[in-house]
Amino acid sequence: MRTPLIAGNWKMYKTIGEATALVRDLLAGLGPLADREAIVCPPFTALAAVAPLVAGSQLGLGAQNLYPEAQGAFTGEVSPVMLADVGCRYVIVGHSERRQYFGESDAFVNRKLRTALAHGLRPIVCVGESKPQRDAGQAEPIVTAQVRAALVEVTPEQMADVVIAYEPIWAIGTGDTATPADAQAMHAAIRATLADLYGAEIAATVRIQYGGSVKPDNIDELMAQPDIDGALVGGASLQAASFLRIINYQ
């Protein structure tokens, strides 16, 4: 009942030429995707060049961030109207790198998520604990509190467009993936939180991705977990061969 979503978060990598070359290689290698969805999230500067290549293809398009206003005097920011205009269907919000390096609060992440929804974009909202938080046994309360804070004033109907990405901070870019069992336990806790907020029926329809050192050699066992509904992939999404293998998880 949940169509798994594999998303490539390219972060601050790829010039326009590199981005279009990667997308061409992905499209050339992608077979029919009957039971899963795949998207790429290039940097803002490459969106307009990538959009016509993926239009009408099996590969969807997302952005990595947005500013929560339709337009205005917000120098350097990009609005949801602009993202929809360039062809984005998805947008990542609240990535731990934005929370950590750019001081994004839970309240600001919530505002971004609601603004994305109001403009017809599907937010992929990231949550995750740090290493000290995990070591202190606080991972679950911290992550479920982030989920609740991100979803303030989000209606049950809107949850059809929301994707949650559990990305433990200590697993991002470190090669240190959560074990499938630990990831599954957190995904189940997130789904229980969604059930508490929206009821079990809606909770069962929301996609929860895992992110943090997802690679060709661990994707299969992660995707075998009952509450893991896709992956948010950083480093391994930057080369066609590795991202195609992840999309084609068994």
Q: Active-site positions?
A: 95, 167
Site string for ligand 13P, 219-238 (x = CB under 6 A): -------------xxxxx--
As measured in angstroms, the least distance from the Cβ of 186 to ligand 13P is: 15
Q: Can you tell me the distance from the alpha carbon of 61 to that of 51, in angstroms, rounded to the nearest whole number?
A: 7
Contact between 218 and ligand 13P by CB under 6 A: the answer reads: no
Report the C-alpha dihedral over residues 102, 235, 7, 248, rounded to 10 degrees. Answer: -170
The residue range among 68-76, 82-90, 151-159, 207-215 that interacts with ligand 13P, by the rule CB under 6 A, is 207-215
Q: Which two tokens stand for residue 11?
A: 């972060």
Of 43, 168, 211, 230, which lies in the binding site for ligand 13P, with binding defined by CB under 6 A? 211
As measured in angstroms, the least distance from the Cβ of 23 to ligand 13P is: 18
Q: Which of 178, 188, 186, 248 is nearest to 211 (CA)?
A: 178
Q: Which two tokens stand for residue 105?
A: 């609060």
For β-strands 122-127 and 163-166, DSSP reports them as parallel
Of 4, 5, 6, 9, which lies in the binding site for ligand 13P, with binding defined by CB under 6 A? 9
Nearer to ligand 13P, 12 or 73 (CB): 12
Nearer to ligand 13P, 223 or 236 (CB): 236
Q: Which two tokens stand for residue 57?
A: 């293809």
Nearer to ligand 13P, 43 or 212 (CB): 212
Residue 29 CB burial class (10 angstroms; 0-12, 13-18, ≥19): middle
Binding residues among 83-102 for ligand 13P as defined by CB under 6 A: 95
CA distances from 49 to 16, 62, 79, 236 (A): 7, 13, 18, 22
The residue range among 17-25, 52-60, 209-217, 220-228 that interacts with ligand 13P, by the rule CB under 6 A, is 209-217
The residue range among 75-83, 102-110, 153-161, 208-216 that interacts with ligand 13P, by the rule CB under 6 A, is 208-216
Task: Give the end-to-end CA distance of the chain in Å, rounded to a whole number.
Answer: 18
As measured in angstroms, the least distance from the Cβ of 177 to ligand 13P is: 8
Q: Helix, strand or coil for residue 47? A: helix
- Which residues of the chain form contacts with ligand 13P (CB under 6 A)? 9, 95, 167, 172-173, 211-214, 232-236
